[in-house]
Structure 1
């Protein structure tokens, strides 16, 4: 499990790729980001993936934009004659979604020009770099499912907890039909809103179902109780106790979903997957509960080795699919690894368990790192493989 944790920690790297020694001229075809507040012209994105910012803070002494998970990387803005602070990112960003925030005279603020998204344990500003393959998560004229909020009792925590549930387009039309369920977890610093808001999970599923590429199924997204554990704090993520969340998931949420939605209430029709920390949670829970889950997905969240398969009784017989994915930049041999931790090879592990007869798929998102474009693409690749009876 230490190896899986090492992969998780090493994966959380900056989302802004290094620029070439001789950078091309910046194209002056900037347009407002798709995530801007209504009527706001900034931030803007150009065809190369550069981002231009404009912040009205006439009394400020210094303004910086921090990009990426945890605010790594940054762009220092310069004050213009009209008192606004402007600047362009030092390099292009990867396609897809990115968190960012402002640092103004030492204080942390969100950009009033754009929408906010929960990440890095706070509501962050968000920006979208249009992707060449954005069609798979685009809002199209196809039948749409619903994302609804549920509040379910949690005796183990003494609270009412929240989850979001995606039901496929035909769910309300066929009162007798029952559906498989994917329990899909967010990453560290995020919450149950992430997969629908940042990930567009509902639109991905709508488009796959409309194209006949995926079986309709329900997706349940709930909070993984991870944000009180800080990677840089004493003990860090290695001190995270999975037992409280496992109790909520297995003893409270799944029974609630099965009693309030038309689910197929058996192991062959239940999956668990997650991105980053959510993948780590999946590996801690699903292989030890193989009478509950038949499909396991780790999206930038660890690896499953042949030793893992051997250590979990019934894994070979009961697991219908082990899906592991990463962004190509996460697999860069030059990426940092925590001192003293061996670096696992998730691609080799996937091939080894596949060769041993365990159904396994390994996917790499091209030209992305530890970011939502990787995980959007991963869901698009994984969903058609689930619940193929």
Structure 2
């Protein structure tokens, strides 16, 4: 199961690291690149919704293997694109497979957590972060060694495919349909309470992913524009955030097992609010980095607990789960864009009130998280 999260991190980071090179080889403008990134995100959202019913019928493990293998192969498409049309097609297909892999691996992680009988979702997300770091380092190395894009694409695609196939037997063996049934074997009627909780969990996923996306896309720029930091120093702000988020995810499961997922979200979001408060009030770069680190630590365990709760609600299916994940993924696209639009009219430091308010709302609504 960990292998699929590593594969996802490797594939996504490989694409991200080579975006400037792909833009150059296709000759597209920065504005067109932004459109292409939206195409990728839209493809992923569609892929999640398509995969939801398949998870309900075949299970997250089986669909994850198929989607993961497809994602590994389709990584070659955008990386070898030579014009706008090829990139459009390549990103659409890659996005579909990426969204399918994302929702499948999280659905199967819920199954593993149920069988393991203890909290483990945060560890899976931590492994994804590690895979992303590894993919970024490999990408930097291949660029420094001046590998051709063809060589890089084939090597990384092949590596991801081999890891997926190596884990396939285990994933399929422990995969099971997520069609809800009760003790009589019939499909239970989903109560209004469960329906309301699904809506709230989707909203929480949206707000938490919005906050995470804001930090990932704007932490470095905030340090540069608000405090006058250099690009290199600004990058350290992002580094502080992502490092502490990874560290926090490796320890969040133990805390959730001892204190409960509700406690993790409530206290974690309170800590995140404190961290963002430091970012907003700080007038020096070192203190701002401390604020981003605290923000990352606070956010680290919240998303896994929301997904775990959504996957364990009585009467829910893979389709329901895919909608919760899809709302969160949509926030990763909409959140940074919203901040960018707002920063056109107010100082960027003011625009960062959005993640502060988002985490404050999640702190107040943490009662909807299950133990």
Same-fold call, TM cutoff 0.5? no
The structure whose RCO (Cα within 8 Å, separation 6+) is larger is 2
The structure in which a higher percent of residues are helix is 2
The structure in which a higher percent of residues are strand is 1
| Alignment TM-score, normalising by the size of structure 1 | 0.24
